[in-house]
Amino acid sequence: MYSVIQCDTEMLKKYDIAGPRYTSYPTAIQFSPQFTEADYRQEIEASNQSSKPLSLYFHIPFCSSLCFFCACNKIITHTKARSIPYLERLHKEIALQAELISASRQVNQLHFGGGTPTFISDEQLYQLLQVTGQHFNLAPVDKREFSIEVDPRAVRPETIPMLREFGFNRISFGVQDLDEKVQEAVNRKQSLEQNMEVVETARSAGYQSINMDIIYGLPHQTLDSFSHTLDVVISMRPERLAIYNYAHLPHRIKAQKLIKQKDLPSPVTKLALLELTINRLQEAGYVFIGMDHFALPEDELVKAMEQGTLQRNFQGYSTHADTDMVGMGMTSIGKTDNCYSQNQRYEKAYFQAIDDNKLAIMQGYQLTPDDKLRREVIQHIMCEGIVDFPRLDQMFGIEFTHYFAEELRLLKPMEEDALVQVGDQSITVLPFGRLLLRNIAMVFDLYRPRYITDQLFSRVI
Ligand code: SF4
């Protein structure tokens, strides 16, 4: 049975600070341009020894219109032909990356993200997958987790069943909010019919899991309006729901300057929206996975949570343990045991690198032994909710209570506030603490003093 989380508004307020989402540790702000293509090549070669399976990510950056809240790296254009030179480079990058990777390593996870992957034509999507299959060893259909982000406003009716035939078994729809006034304020008009149609099509096409992305904290959202959005979304029964907190950072994200501060819900309303969401989704039978993710009990994400195999990566929570990630396309991020690497952010630099037969590495990070230990601890907090000291002592040759004496001291107030329970052998995240995983994880983050400026990350609530 899953523990139901009771909200405590005062306590949420107390812990509403800025902090990372820990899709990686260390976080991307530690990445440095001193990490070069040569470093990446060396790390990939070393990772081949492990024969770990792979997770591939492809970034398709194009969108037909700008959503004002969006922090993704995207190119807004109506010109479909813009994608042709980009895909030429992407195909070449696939070949360049595959040359480095042992053919015995199977790709059991693949994700098309963006931007809007379905901005490109069905033919281009097909080619992209074909080229990937020519260069990488794709897992058999029953062992795959292939997913794609789909914009219900910009998808052709035949594309959803076609992608299923290509082997995609998970699909994610960006919904955000159903209220017209909210949609207008963020420049994303999307009718209920459009949303219902894509969900029905995905169901008939036989996708194993449908995800919907919703955002709370958008301009003009009220408890009434958001309650309606939640009711409608719940009635469509997506297996997974990602309910993101809108982070208003106009000094860093230019598009957000188009959102008026005065239209945003107050911090009190935002908290109430979060509380409403948690209560409403739990009442409707959804299980809270962690951070901003919910899933129906029969979904694999819940099973992975029960079995302790849940993982956190750049796409949020995942069921596939222990893969190395290869990111392709602008801005995408890769990961091996020892490093993170990130591609060029801008099209021009990305094209230039690929045209010069180079990988488009812009920056990266080589993990120290301490980083790896802390990554493991943070992963256990975010995914399992338990940090088992003897297990980590054995894995890393440390004495946990001695190594993390200061961190255990910093956890004391959280223990008093019933976020965690600290025993002689373990730390257990308590039900309410699961709402504040970032705060708990931050205690173990060596680089946290850098975050205090409040400008680097969104707030927790
Ligand atoms: S939210 Fe999606 S569709 Fe909108 S601009 Fe961002 S990437 Fe494009």
- Name 315's Cβ contacts closer than 8 Å, sequence gap at least 6: 23, 57, 111, 113, 147
> Ligand 1, closest atom to CA 149?
2
Q: At residue 427, what is the residue type?
A: I
424 lies in the same domain as 285: no
The rounded Å distance from CA 29 to ligand 1 centre is 23
* Residue of 106 and 456 predicted with greater confidence: 106
Q: Is residue 332 part of a domain?
A: no
For the chain, helix, strand, coil in percent to 5 are 45, 20, 35
pTM for this prediction: 0.93
What pLDDT is stored for residue 271 in this prediction?
83
C-alpha 355/C-alpha 333 separation (Å) is 20
Cis peptide upstream of residue 285 (ω within 30 degrees of 0) = no
pLDDT at 308 over 90: no
Residues 412 and 285 in one domain: no
Q: Are residues 60 and 112 in the same domain?
A: yes
Residue 427 lies in a domain: yes
Residues 305 and 412 in one domain: no
**Residues 78-100 pLDDT 10s:** 999 999 999 999 999 999 999 99
- Size (the chain), residues: 461
Overall domain count for the chain: 2
Are the C-beta atoms of residues 164 and 205 closer than 8 Å to each other?
Answer: yes
Q: Which atom of ligand 1 is nearest to the CA of 188?
A: 4
Q: Are residues 26 and 161 in the same domain?
A: yes
Distance between Cα 212 and ligand 1 center (Å): 14
From the list 199, 193, 120, the residue with the least C-alpha distance to 160 is 199
In the chain, the amino acid numbered 358 is: K
pLDDT band at 3 (very low <50, low <70, confident <90, very high): low
pLDDT in the model for residue 275: 87
Q: In whole angstroms, give the CA distance from residue 155 to residue 301.
A: 26
Q: How far is the CA of 215 from the centre of ligand 1 (A)?
A: 13
Is residue 106 located within the same domain as residue 193?
yes
The answer to the question of residue 344 being in a domain is no
In a domain, 334, yes or no: no
Q: pLDDT confidence of 452, banded at 50, 70, 90?
A: low
Residue 307 pLDDT level (bands cut at 50, 70, 90): confident
Q: What is the pLDDT of residue 9?
A: 80
Taking only the tens place, the pLDDT of each residue in 329-376 is 999 999 999 999 999 999 999 999 999 999 999 999 999 999 999 999
- Boundary of a domain, candidates 307, 327, 347: 327
User: How many angstroms separate the CA atoms of 366 and 387, rounded?
Assistant: 24
Pair 168, 90 in one domain: yes
Structure confidence at residue 461 as a pLDDT band (50, 70, 90): low
Mean pLDDT, the chain, integer = 93
Alpha helices (runs of H) in 187-318, residue ranges in sequence order: 192-205, 223-236, 267-283, 300-307
Q: Within this chain, do residues 188 and 131 fall inside the same structural domain, yes or no?
A: yes
| CA 75–ligand 1 middle distance (angstroms) | 9
Ligand 1 mean position, distance from CA 326 (Å)? 23
Same domain, 51 and 136: yes
* Residue 65 alpha carbon, nearest atom of ligand 1: 5
What is the bridge-based pairing of β-strands 209-216 and 311-313? unpaired
Contact 128, 91 (CB under 8 A): yes
Q: Which of 62, 64, 72, 256 to mutate to test the pocket of ligand 1 (most atoms within 8 A of CB)?
A: 72
Confidence band, pLDDT 50/70/90 cuts, at residue 268: confident
- Pick the more confident residue, 9 or 190: 190
Q: Is the pLDDT of residue 320 over 80?
A: no
Same domain, 12 and 53: no
Q: What is the dihedral of CA 271, 274, 279, 280, to 10 degrees?
A: 130
Task: Determine which residue's CA is closest to atom 2 belonging to ligand 1.
Answer: 115
| Site residues for ligand 1, CB cut-off 6 Å | 63, 66-67, 70, 72, 74, 114-116, 151, 174
In whole angstroms, give the CA distance from residue 311 to residue 318.
Answer: 5
Phi-psi region of 316 (alpha: psi -120 to 50; beta: other; left: phi over 0): left
Q: How far is the CA of 249 from the centre of ligand 1 (A)?
A: 16
Nearest 10 degrees: CA dihedral of 113, 116, 117, 119? Answer: -170
Which two structure tokens, joined as six digits, stand for 238? 């997506």
| HSE-up (13 A, CA, CB side) for residue 366 | 13
User: Do 35 and 152 share a domain, yes or no?
Assistant: yes
> b or e along 215-224 (b: 16 or more beta carbons within 10 Å of the residue's beta carbon)?
bbbbbbbeee
355 is a domain residue: no
135 C-alpha vs ligand 1 centroid, how far in Å?
29
**CATH number for the domain that contains residue 442:** 1.10.10.920
| Averaged pLDDT, 433-452 | 87
pLDDT band at 67; cut points 50, 70, 90: very high
Is residue 131 domain-resident?
yes
Which residues, 6+ apart, have CB-to-CB distance to 294 below 8 Å? 240, 241, 242, 243, 281, 286, 287, 288
Q: What is the pLDDT of residues 161-180, one digit of tens each?
A: 999 998 999 999 999 999 99
Verify that 233 and 254 share a domain, yes or no: yes
Distance 115 CA to ligand 1 centre (A): 5
The answer to whether the beta carbons of residues 438 and 19 sit under 8 Å apart is: yes
Q: Three-state SS for 446?
A: coil
Residue-wise pLDDT tens digits, 370-412? 999 999 999 999 988 999 999 999 999 999 999 999 999 999 9
Q: Can you tell me which atom of ligand 1 is nearest the CA of 115?
A: 7
CATH of the domain at 150: 3.80.30.20
Ligand 1 atom with least separation from CA of 63: 8
Taking Cα atoms as reference points, which of 230, 282, 267 lies closest to residue 1? 282
- For residue 94, being part of any structural domain is answered with yes
pLDDT at position 1 over 60: no
In a domain, 353, yes or no: no
| Domain extent for 13 | 1-18+368-447
The SS3 of residue 54 is strand
Q: For 238-265, write each residue's pLDDT tens digit.
A: 999 999 999 899 998 999 999 999 999 9
Ligand 1, from 74, 118, 332: best to mutate by most atoms within 8 Å of Cβ? 74
